[in-house]
Amino acid sequence: MNRRDFFNAMADTWDTRCRHDQDRVNEILDLLPLRMGDEVLDVGAGTGVLIPFLLERIGDRGTITAIDMSEKMIRIAERKFEYKNVRFMADDVFSANLQPPRFDVILCYSVFPHFDDKKVAVAKLSRRLNPGGILAICHSEGRDDINSLHKNISPAVAHDHLPPAEEIAEYLAAAGCEIVTLLDTERLFVVAGRKSQSGENPN
């Protein structure tokens, strides 16, 4: 079973199996400079856990593109959330025809361990940022708990590892992003970088 098959198999029961502490989600988003009217890319959106929290911050003028490789997860998210300013895509974020092509904020919430080459993932996602845009890798649990969960839940994700925050910060810096948030505790994990105003990517 590969990752996509694993998440498709889990989709119908995901919202009962996987609980996200709302206070912690709000804590994470409060650390990020989300603004009214922002265009947001929600990578690995799953069943749409972030959507209501994001809409509170970006309002009706903002947009969310929610993308996930699991078509069953995205189908559930579509049924749960019917907003004109939310687009849903079942696709690989690195090959998808994204519209808009660039975003003010890109969020990788509870998905980063599932990227095979994490440095390349950061570099590719940073190219999708508008100048001054934010790329954030975040979890509402501590890194040790996340890695332990993946190791034990299924062979499909057993090797999906969340690196230390400092390592991800190095990837962001190499991609031309200034670190604006770095938090690696027992209850929260947030690493966020801001793309240079010139919009240039050094690699």
Q: Work out the average pLDDT over 17-30.
A: 93
pLDDT digits (tens, 9 = 90+) for 79-113: 999 999 999 999 999 999 999 999 999 999 999 99
Residues 6 or more apart whose Cβ sits within 8 Å of residue 142: 184, 185, 186, 187, 188, 189
Nearest one of 10, 19, 4 to 90, comparing CA atoms: 4
Enumerate domains of the chain plus CATH numbers: 3-12+20-195 (3.40.50.150)
Is the CB of residue 41 less than 8 Å from the CB of residue 49?
no
What is the CB neighbour count within 10 angstroms for residue 193? 26
Q: Work out the average pLDDT over 39-45.
A: 98
Buried b (16+ CB within 10 A) or exposed e, 127-145: ebbbeebbbbbbbbbbbee
Q: Work out the average pLDDT over 54-60.
A: 97
Q: Is the pLDDT of residue 64 over 90?
A: yes
Q: Is the pLDDT of residue 201 over 90?
A: no
Mean pLDDT (the chain, rounded): 94
The percentage of residues in the chain with a pLDDT greater than 70, rounded to a whole number, is 98
* pLDDT at residue 16, as a whole number: 86
**Torsion angle defined by CA atoms of residues 112, 180, 176 and 36, in that order, rounded to the nearest 10 degrees:** 80
